[in-house]
Amino acid sequence: MRRTLALLAAVVLGLAVFAGCARTVDGEPLPVGAAGQSGTSDVDTDQFDRLLLECEVLPDETIADVVAGGGFAEQSFSGAICRWLVSGNDTVSVTFNWFEWGSINVEKETAKKLGFTTENIKIASQSAFTQRSPDRPGLCGVTARAPSRGVFTWFVEPRSAPPGDPCAAPIKLMELLLRGGQ
């Protein structure tokens, strides 16, 4: 009896949801991004004029100098993550993110859960930590408290592991960012 009532309740709920989705809307269907009947786009792109601002925290040339000793940095953007592919003496992948509501403790715990080893450091008087992967010796990430709110993270990974400390470049990028690009 209980099974029958549960099944009946599920069917009624499913029909109610389906009925709520079945309605007719006046107008002509248009593909996403297509112009409306007035010939103008229905999307107000002015509201996104500062979308890539967080990717401009340091000039591309500075990023290329720090991670590859020069060369060319090609920028791309994916969600909340800014990316650069730097071509110089080596090809280097660089990522930057700013989680405005992030917590350094949450980021550190997440890094540990993903198998990274972490080490507490200070950069420009801000609490920070490094993240290294035992499986990828050239990869290093540095996360620091953002002065206003949230956290910043730089990850740098050259195609071939360079000699020296793999955290030197992301630490330098973080230092430049926290000191205002100086």
Secondary-structure class of domain 53-178 per CATH? mainly beta
- Separate counts of helices (H) and strands (E) for the chain: 4, 7
State the pLDDT at residue 29: 62
**DSSP annotation string for 145-177:** E-SSSSEEEEEEEESSPPSS-TTHHHHHHHHHH
Q: For 119-168, what is each residue's pLDDT tens digit?
A: 999 999 999 999 999 999 999 999 999 988 899 999 999 988 667 899 99
Q: For 101-114, what is each residue's pLDDT tens digit?
A: 899 999 999 999 99
Domain boundaries, the chain: 53-178
Distance from C-alpha of 131 to C-alpha of 30, rounded to nearest angstrom: 47
Cα 182 from chain centroid (whole Å)? 24
Q: Which residues contact 155 (CB under 8 A, 6 or more apart)?
A: 93, 94, 95, 96, 131, 139, 140, 141, 170
State the pLDDT at residue 4: 41
Confidence of residue 47 (pLDDT cuts 50, 70, 90): very low
Confidence of residue 117 (pLDDT cuts 50, 70, 90): very high
Higher pLDDT, 94 or 40: 94
Give the rounded percent of residues in the chain with a pLDDT score beyond 90: 46
Q: What value does the mean pLDDT take over residues 32-57?
A: 54
pLDDT value at 85 more than 80: yes
State the pLDDT at residue 80: 72
Distance from C-alpha of 81 to C-alpha of 3, rounded to nearest angstrom: 48
